[in-house]
Structure 1
Amino acid sequence: MLRRATQLADGRDLIYYDDAGSALGADRAVDARTLDQRPGTATMRQDVLTGDWITVAANRQNRIMMPSADADPLAPQTPTNPSEVPSMYDVAVFENRSPAFGPALAEALGTAPVASDAPRGLDDLAALGLGRTRTSVGRCEVVCFSPEPSGSFGTQSVTRARTVIEAWADRTAALSLMPGIEQIFPFENRGEAIGVTLPHPHGQIYAYPYVTPRTTRLLESIDHTAPDLFQHILEFEQNSERVVFQGRHWTAFVPFAARWPLEVHLMPHRHVPDFAETNQDERDELAPLYLKLLRGVDALYDTPTPYIAAWHQAPVNVGRETVRLHLQLTSPRRAADKLKFLAGSESAMWAWAAEVTPEQGAARIREAIKRAEQASA
């Protein structure tokens, strides 16, 4: 895989990742568009009742919604489509034009609290108070899985999946070195039911200026149980009927206390905090196994399944020895024509009720994977 870095017309970073054996040449077109100045970095406000930080990014209100194929902003540029990517590509990663975090980083804002109001470390962010604000420093990136106008990660080849995994690892390492970044989150939103605004096969990477609320709760659970909690979970699930499949380096399972009608976790067998720490054998096996899982999920029904594929990684500066990289794949689809909506109890009180037992869910996914493999044989 080859990595080629450049910049877009407004100074945003763009990185091309070429497949192994790619037919693409080394030359890439220059982005010759005339673009407006990038929006200023958003502001975070603290919810004093929970300690959560809420980003207020008004620039995202008018982002593009379900454009036609000839106006696809993630397709390679043409004379009639001045898109975000100047050249043909295999995989492309670029800074989001309408980010929730960034483009400023803590270092660029300076260290004077009055002048920048940037987060001043985890202790500063953990403090509680009315009317507390901070600058939403960080980075939001778009990961284009393919130049094709439609599809998802699951529709890619094993070679292309392997290239995306390499891009995730490379970007995790690079973003972790940026000032003010505390956690890196690669993810894919798939389907209009999830809220996807572009049909082009793509995911995103968020680089947060704080440790996210879910990971904070996870760190508290580890503190109350054992530093090797993830290993205990893996062994517990591997000895259950909730295993979906198991490889040499990865196991997929429906978790014991699954919240969603469809929820699958995919976890490495050894402790690795993030993609940057995975080895070549783990990445090589992950590519076909992840495709196997996604194609099985799509075979559950006659139409593609909406989902959120969330790759949880350890924070940059805490929990590196205890938080293990893992996928949490969830879907609100509870039947062919029914969705689970987060109504009063789940939404307001965070008190979940599941309609599908995890054991039933695992059995259904195993059967769907078999159908998908038979259909492609």
Structure 2
Amino acid sequence: MTSITPTRLSDGRELIYFDALEGSAALHRDAVATHDTRGLPPRGPAGTARYDALTGEWIAVAAHRQSRTHLPPADQCPLCPTTPSNLSEIPTDYEVVVFENRFSSFGPDLGDLPATPEWGTTAPAYGRCEVVAFDSAHEGSFGSLSPQRARTVIDAWAHRTEALSAMPGIKQVFCFENRGADIGVTLLHPHGQIYAYPFIPPRAATLAARAAEFFEASGGKQTLLGHALAAERASGDRMVIEGKHFSAFVPFAARWPLEVHLVPHRRVADIAGLTGEERDELTTVYLELLGRLDALYPTPTPYIAAWQQAPIDDALRPASYLHLQLTSPRRAADKLKFLAGSEAAMGAFINDTTPEKVAEALRSATPATRKDPA
């Protein structure tokens, strides 16, 4: 069972320890051990959200992020536990920790955006952005975690999804991991992020609308992703992993050179809805999937791991279906796919790989032997 211990950093931001071991949990219940001694100034107000009347989308303006930490040396990493020479964001050693981002795109203020925006409408960039540090060790990614640590991260995602979904004005909770300098990471320490948006982002809105349309047409008897999952399992051409509770496959119309969807067999709206048994298998299947991805080439593959969860909207949640979209721009050992004119300007993707061949390569890949801690 994961122990959860909240505290506050010196500028008022919330920090939460997630521990599988009682020794770690006991340390984090010690107010002296978890005290942030930096004496940071109070946080400023939220940034700005501007409404794009041409697309109907909200754009966050967060100029303060220009000064955020960028690829610091290991002895100055803000996600490593604090030492006398490095007063970091995390006051003591930890297993998994979640805290409010110091350079947040959304929040810390909460509230509702204007209901009827028009050209020139601005509002506070309500919401919340959190950092999820997967491990106290400086190097690695989710795929290099031990199964026990990965399982604790999943519990942290579930806890934060439920808590953030209940906050005023939040319309979408997004858990994700950016891995690799080619993706644009600014910290090499193994970590992910969680965004709680005050609106439903465009990609999520498209997925939710298509799912709702299919669900309504079936009389509320079938979900769109459930239908696709059944078709992929029946075909087998693009399957990568098939378990008792989860399956991973390359989608029929993959956009990216490397793209895999990891889908639970039971429809749930979000990570918080997974049972303990489902989370256990998710740990195993997800680590295997990332291992297969890294076995494709001699060097680690950059990726974005994006958890698509149901919007916080009563009309959309019944049709929405939790799943992970794992994507990488890597199209060869020494080549990346850049989003050029067609993709970036028109949103029309052109894939340089064949989904069936990518699935075959992933099935044939042998993950490296995992070295779990003693």
- Shift of residue 256 of structure 1? 0.4
- Aligned match of 1:64: 69
* Residue type at the aligned position of 2:87: P
In structure 2, the CA distance between the partners of 1:38 and 1:374, relative to structure 1 (3 Å rule), is closer
Could you list the per-position Cα deviations for residues 202-259 of structure 1 after superposition, in whole angstroms to 9, with x for gaps in the alignment? 0000000011111211222124333511210110111221010111000000000000
- Shift of residue 374 of structure 1? 6.4
Counterpart check, 1:250 vs 2:267 = no
SS at the partner of 2:272?
Answer: helix
- Aligned match of 1:235: 230
Unaligned runs of 5+ in 2: 217-222
The one of 70, 76, 85 aligned to 1:80: 85
**Contact 1:20–1:159 (Cα < 8 Å) also in 2:** no
> What is the TM-score with the length of structure 2 in the denominator?
0.93
Counterpart check, 1:276 vs 2:272 = yes
- Aligned match of 2:361: 364
**Contact 2:245–2:264 (Cα < 8 Å) also in 1:** yes
Counterpart check, 1:332 vs 2:333 = no
The one of 183, 206, 212 aligned to 1:217: 206
**Contact 2:5–2:25 (Cα < 8 Å) also in 1:** no
- Aligned match of 2:219: none
* Residue type at the aligned position of 1:119: L
**Contact 1:39–1:59 (Cα < 8 Å) also in 2:** no
Unaligned runs of 5+ in 1: 107-117
For 1:1-377, list aligned pairs within 5 A.
Answer: 1-20=2-21, 25-26=26-27, 27=30, 28-106=33-111, 118-120=112-114, 124=115, 127=116, 129-227=118-216, 228-240=223-235, 241-318=237-314, 319-368=316-365, 371-372=366-367
**Contact 1:45–1:134 (Cα < 8 Å) also in 2:** yes
SS at the partner of 1:372?
Answer: coil
CA distance in 1, matches of 2:21, 2:6: 17
- Shift of residue 373 of structure 1? 5.3
In structure 2, the CA distance between the partners of 1:218 and 1:295, relative to structure 1 (3 Å rule), is same
> What is the TM-score with the length of structure 1 in the denominator?
0.92
**Contact 2:309–2:321 (Cα < 8 Å) also in 1:** yes
**Contact 1:222–1:229 (Cα < 8 Å) also in 2:** yes
- Shift of residue 135 of structure 1? 1.4
**Contact 2:47–2:124 (Cα < 8 Å) also in 1:** yes
- Aligned match of 1:109: none
SS at the partner of 1:25?
Answer: helix
CA distance in 1, matches of 2:159, 2:34: 23
- Aligned match of 2:220: none
CA distance in 1, matches of 2:176, 2:104: 15
CA distance in 1, matches of 2:210, 2:245: 25
- Shift of residue 19 of structure 1? 1.9
- Shift of residue 375 of structure 1? 8.1
CA distance in 1, matches of 2:371, 2:69: 35
**Contact 2:343–2:349 (Cα < 8 Å) also in 1:** yes
CA distance in 2, matches of 1:374, 1:173: 34
After the TM superposition, which segments of 4 or more aligned residues of structure 1 sit over 4 Å from their partners?
A: 20-24, 373-377
CA distance in 2, matches of 1:155, 1:149: 12
* Residue type at the aligned position of 1:343: A
In structure 2, the CA distance between the partners of 1:360 and 1:167, relative to structure 1 (3 Å rule), is same
CA distance in 2, matches of 1:197, 1:361: 29
CA distance in 1, matches of 2:352, 2:50: 35
- Shift of residue 39 of structure 1? 2.9
